[in-house]
Amino acid sequence: MLEGKPTRTELSELGEFGLIDLLTKNITLKNKSSVKGVGDDAAVIDYGSKQTLITKDLLIEGVHFDLTYMPLKHLGYKAVVVNLSDVVAMNGTPKQIIVGIGASNRFSIEALEEIYEGIYLACDKYNVDLVGGDTVSSTSGLFISVTAIGEAKKEDIVYRNSAKKGDLLFVSGDLGAAYAGLLLLEREKEVYKADPNMQPDLDGYDYILGRQLKPEARMDVLKLFKDVGVKPTSMIDVSDGLASEMLHLCLDSGLGGAIYEDKIPVDITTAGVAEEFEIDPTTCAMNGGEDYELLFTISQEDFEKLKDTDGITVIGHMTDKNEGVNLISRSGTVVPIEAQGWDAFFKK
């Protein structure tokens, strides 16, 4: 074997059960609610008097991720986080995950171990237990399915359909950065395809690349709500773009709404990349997706509790349904909002 050449172990050398044993041998359960994890026909979870929250996302190679520029460890981490974000968007605390992976024979044991390194890193960061899953053979590349299980008191759960007319619309963090990162990665991929000897030019873009490759679930925002004594009247995570999520809140709550363009938080690097690609930064924020920030409404009475909070921005308000869902441009023009973000079944 050449010195420095990575070891490659074929999946066939271990088989399904040997692979499961290898990938799960170091699991330690952190939560009392995790009665039984990996090693039986089903996980056993005891929540007592609390409500159980369950969500699932499927990531498919060539649709949701591109291994040309997505490191396997980052992929494992992201696969977990995007599911935890859905639990957080319900004002819940994620506790367990179940992971299913399908891999073709072009992936080695070491490659799957790298994915699991990212999965375990996310579990450690968010104090979540991996309690089961499945590994199967795939004839069409790699896919990862994660089910996240969380808990919340019944009175603490926040839905999409409970906003009220006059409620203020807030968003955490900034928007459009993940899409800007994707634009850069896709550009450098095309450069690489034209000349494999060319080194990618990504210096100075760490923030937006991190937002695309290693997003985070905003557990810290839930802590903020508890600290200041605010319960949102509705909430959703920004996975498919601000426009799409705003339409969800309005449709489900039976309301209209207004977002003010000059209030939308956009990072300076995101704005710079948008300019490079001759795209309006507002377009990145409204339609980009994968930011995994929280879009939420609060009653006007709670405004004083959040108005001076760093990283939380009021961007609009909820209106009567017959007023529609609109973006108020910097010039004051009223533009109806349409969802142009991610649609899993949209054919280009």
**Strands 51-60 vs 44-45: parallel, antiparallel or unpaired:** unpaired
CA gap 236, 195 in Å, rounded: 42
- List pLDDT tens digits, range 306-332: 998 999 999 999 999 999 999 999 999
Two tokens at 72? 């396997």
- The pLDDT, as a whole number, for residue 40 is 64
CA gap 220, 191 in Å, rounded: 38
- The pLDDT, as a whole number, for residue 42 is 63
- The pLDDT, as a whole number, for residue 348 is 42
CATH superfamily of 11-156: PurM-like, N-terminal domain (3.30.1330.10)
Bin 48: left if φ > 0, else alpha if -120 < ψ < 50, else beta.
left
What is the model's pTM? 0.89
In degrees and rounded to multiples of 5, residue 143 shows phi and psi of: -140, 150
- The pLDDT, as a whole number, for residue 46 is 84
- Which amino acid is residue 131, in one-letter code? V
- The pLDDT, as a whole number, for residue 324 is 97
Residue ranges, the chain, pLDDT below 50: 1, 342-348
Q: How many angstroms separate the Cα of 106 from the Cα of each of 73, 173, 348?
A: 17, 39, 29
Q: Which of 135, 76, 71, 139 is nearest to 104 (CA)?
A: 139
**182-191 contacts: CB < 8 A, separation 24 or more?**
182/212, 182/288, 182/290, 183/273, 183/277, 183/279, 184/208, 184/209, 184/273, 185/66, 185/69, 185/209, 185/212, 188/69, 189/66, 189/68, 189/69
Give the bridge partners for 100, in sequence order. Answer: 134, 145
CATH superfamily of 168-336: PurM-like C-terminal domain (3.90.650.10)
DSSP characters for 207-250? HHHHHHHS----HHHHHHHHHHT---SEEEE-SS-HHHHHHHHH
- Secondary structure of residue 144 in the 3-state scheme: strand
Q: Residue-wise over 264-285: b if at least 16 C-beta within 10 A, else e?
A: bbbbebbbebbeeeebebbebb
- The pLDDT, as a whole number, for residue 26 is 86
Dihedral sign, CA of 281, 286, 289, 292? positive
Q: Which of 291, 179, 175, 301 is nearest to 232 (CA)?
A: 301
CA gap 250, 244 in Å, rounded: 10
**Domain residue ranges of the chain, discontinuous segments joined by +:** 11-156, 168-336
